[in-house]
Structure 1
Amino acid sequence: MTARRDRVVGAGAPARKRDPGAAAPARKHGPDADGSALKRDPGAGVSTRAPAARGATLADWTRATLAELGIAPKRRRGQNFLVDRNLRDAILDDAAVGGDDVVLEVGGGLGVLSGELARRARFLHVVEIEPRLADYLAGVLPAGKARVWRRDALELDAALLEPRPTRIVANLPYAVAQTFLVASLTAFPEVRHWFVMVQLEVAERLAAPPGTRLRGTASALVQAACDVRIERKLPPDVFLPRPRVWSALLRLERVRPPLDERAVRLVRAGFAHRRKPLANALSRAGVVGAADRARVRDALAALGYPPDARAEALAADAWRRLADKLAGAGPERQRGGPRAASSGAASATGEGAGRGGTRQGLDGSDHPGA
């Protein structure tokens, strides 16, 4: 594995060796050539250029700052900036970040959440893929309290983050939200709490109870490790630009270890053929042999399910017990071989396809350096 030579944002010393995986160094912000000085926007929580007019809204400030940085939000990256100050404050309060927490934020944007998270937490890691936003955050976040990583969240090498994150609080980019959340269960074992904004559809899928249409691979993997709760639904007009869909605040609380590789393999195989009885689905996927179908049906019955139950019927922790009962059933083979447990859901959800390269990312694929 080769380390990338991204620069550490916020380090400030131009001659020092940079840690791998971080973004560009902090810039000293001072008066511009036209004499306009940096001021603190009370709504943003970080030092920013003052809105053009007194009393300007957070939306006005966001438009002006993006224009100044020459940034047009990219829909393909799911970039939607939070512009409701009251909601921002409610999110920070509900996230309940304390002085002992190390927070990971994915998609820092203009720092509307970042500045206050850095103030409340012991330390803040911010992942931001847009170079100009990463450099901007470097200049406004407090020195010694935050580090900005200029990286695709799915290409992040979790081992580089020190101190280790204990909470994830973020307005997650739509393009990576589900895949990142599933992968983070194993990539960040010290994280106990997640409080994130995601598409409403993603939130409903992750919170879907057994036996429902939205139940899928991601539901089973997340609920196997966490209690999942939708806190509130958010209309499009609290973001800039306005997304075409509603969003939701989602809370995850870790209550159990994530599924191991054997159980992840069963989940993936079961939902790959979700219309079939689970015994047939596992056999069709090559996870168990044709002769083991009766054993699967017996195991389901022992767990309190009908022998012909489908994957969506199983409660999250039932997959762990099913894997134990089927230990030794064979042949356990899949096309291309099984991937790591932390990456199985990423593949099954259809997000975060690998691009080839040298660094192990959160989606389980190897990625090239930026």
Structure 2
Amino acid sequence: MRDVISRHGLAARHALGQHFLLDGNLTDRIVREAGDLTGRHVIEVGPGPGGLTRSLLASPAASVTAIELDSRAVGAVSELAETAGGRLRVIEADALTVDLPALVPPPRQVIANLPYNIASPLLVGWLRQAAAFERLTLMFQQEVAERICAPPGTSAYGRLSVLAQWCCDARIVMRIPPAAFTPPPKVWSAVIGLTPHPAQPEPALFARMESLTAAAFGQRRKMLRGALRGLGGEALLDKAGIAAERRAETLTVAEFDRLVRVLADDPPVR
């Protein structure tokens, strides 16, 4: 792997959020955490020099589609396609602009060491389409991973927690120290397994939940009566049976679900 990095001039770029995981034992473990990949079409975002890609190709996955913005990494990963028997496709593109479900047929999984600088917006975009995926196995900075999986009443619980847990069962399955990466980041990383719930919100309802959670957590110290004033305030909370004096971090995901459905049935007059 270090030879691949050298030949392709693949020094990690901070602007691209690159930290390469080269340890085959760790990449193999990430793939195992995704479950049995037999017959699955896997999408990898940000393959870099191809460490995780190699482990994916060693699995029984039906195909691997790697999306990479960095042309240097595209060249490095494309070398693997020559011996992959047609199972690997490399696409040079910005993952934020790609419609993943349009790339491969179901059953689909996303397995990726995400670029740190776009990890959260990527996740929110995929949550909007959660019904299209069987599972997502994703690496984040540990702090972000803990926010995604945080329970109500904790300092880490916030908008990302609600959106992820509303759509998926989310749990941390691995923690990885900085020394495992080249170059080592300043923080630990963690891998999350996200399994979409059988029933998913319609796009319009998801959009309302985005607005609701943005308002609720936008000023965490405010009581909900003030934080949600623009969405109906006390009247909205009363209809949902939620005390106006509570703060956003005390609401469960089920309470946010109740609140957003009331909001959808009776949107505020503007």
Alignment deviations for residues 264-303 of structure 1 (CA, whole Å, 9 cap, x no partner): 22112111222211121111xx222xxxx33233235x2x
CA distance in 1, matches of 2:109, 2:245: 40
Deviates more, 1:110-119 or 1:268-277: 110-119
Aligned position for 1:313: 250
CA spacing shift, 1:215–1:189, aligned 2, 3 Å = same
Alpha-carbon offset, residue 149 of structure 1: 1.4
Is the 8 Å Cα contact of residues 135 and 193 (structure 2) preserved in structure 1? Answer: yes
Larger radius of gyration: 1
- Unaligned runs of 5+ residues in structure 1 are 1-60, 333-370
- Unaligned runs of 5+ residues in structure 2 are none
CA distance in 2, matches of 1:188, 1:295: 31
SS at 1:317 equivalent: helix
Is the 8 Å Cα contact of residues 158 and 187 (structure 1) preserved in structure 2? Answer: no
**2:266 matched to 1:328?**
yes
TM-score by length of structure 2 reads 0.89
Aligned position for 2:5: 66
Matches within 5 A, 1:140-289: 140-141=80-81, 142-158=84-100, 160-164=102-106, 166-187=108-129, 189-255=131-197, 256-258=199-201, 259-283=205-229, 286-288=230-232
Is the 8 Å Cα contact of residues 174 and 191 (structure 2) preserved in structure 1? Answer: yes
SS at 1:306 equivalent: coil
Alpha-carbon offset, residue 214 of structure 1: 1.2
Is the 8 Å Cα contact of residues 97 and 117 (structure 1) preserved in structure 2? Answer: no
SS at 2:152 equivalent: coil
**2:27 matched to 1:85?**
no
CA spacing shift, 1:316–1:299, aligned 2, 3 Å = same
CA spacing shift, 1:324–1:91, aligned 2, 3 Å = closer
Pairing partner for 1:94 from 10, 27, 33: 33
CA RMSD of aligned residues (A): 2.0
CA distance in 2, matches of 1:220, 1:239: 30
Alpha-carbon offset, residue 132 of structure 1: 1.9
Query: Which of the pair is proportionally richer in helix?
Result: 2
CA distance in 2, matches of 1:93, 1:158: 22
User: How many percent of aligned residue pairs carry the same amino acid?
Assistant: 35
Alpha-carbon offset, residue 92 of structure 1: 2.0
CA distance in 1, matches of 2:37, 2:106: 15
Alpha-carbon offset, residue 223 of structure 1: 0.7
Alpha-carbon offset, residue 235 of structure 1: 0.7
Aligned residue-pair number: 262
CA distance in 2, matches of 1:322, 1:188: 21
AA aligned opposite 1:205: R
CA spacing shift, 1:257–1:188, aligned 2, 3 Å = closer
